[in-house]
């Protein structure tokens, strides 16, 4: 079992969430129903999947959740390009 709280990737993903919250707080109100929720979900999903994967029994399972986290990172990046 991986100790996700010690993983640099998990720590960095939490720092990203803080940055994203700072960004969405400055976005226009017109984005509050579409882009802001999507951006928040995607960015939060990164750390959640790393944590979930670390609790799985095998490295293969962990790798699968890291792949999902990477997809959420790409989604976050794309949302940020749109603003």
- Per-residue pLDDT tens digits for 1-24: 569 999 999 999 999 999 999 999
φ, ψ at 26 (rounded to 5°): -100, -5
- Stated pTM of the model: 0.92
Tokens of residue 58, six digits: 């095998």
Residue 47 is predicted with a pLDDT of 98
| Better pLDDT: 3 or 68 | 68
Residue 1 is predicted with a pLDDT of 55
- For the chain, domains (ranges, CATH) are 4-82 (1.20.1440.60)
CA distance 48 to 53: 8
Torsion over CA: 30, 33, 39, 43 (sign): positive
* Residue 13: HSE in the Cβ half-sphere, 13 Å Cα cutoff: 27
Please report how the helices 8-24 and 59-82 are oriented relative to each other, as an axis angle in degrees rounded to 10: 20
* pLDDT tens figures, 16-63: 999 999 999 999 989 889 999 999 999 999 999 999 999 998 999 999
């Amino acid at each position: 079992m991986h100790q996700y709280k010690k993983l640099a990737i998990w720590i960095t993903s939490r720092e990203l969430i803080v940055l994203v919250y700072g960004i969405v707080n400055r976005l226009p109100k017109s984005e509050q129903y579409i882009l802001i929720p999507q951006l928040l979900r995607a960015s939060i999903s990164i750390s959640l999947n790393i944590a979930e994967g670390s609790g799985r029994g095998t490295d293969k399972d962990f790798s699968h959740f890291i792949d999902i986290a990477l997809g959420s990172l790409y989604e976050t990046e794309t949302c940020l390009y749109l603003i």
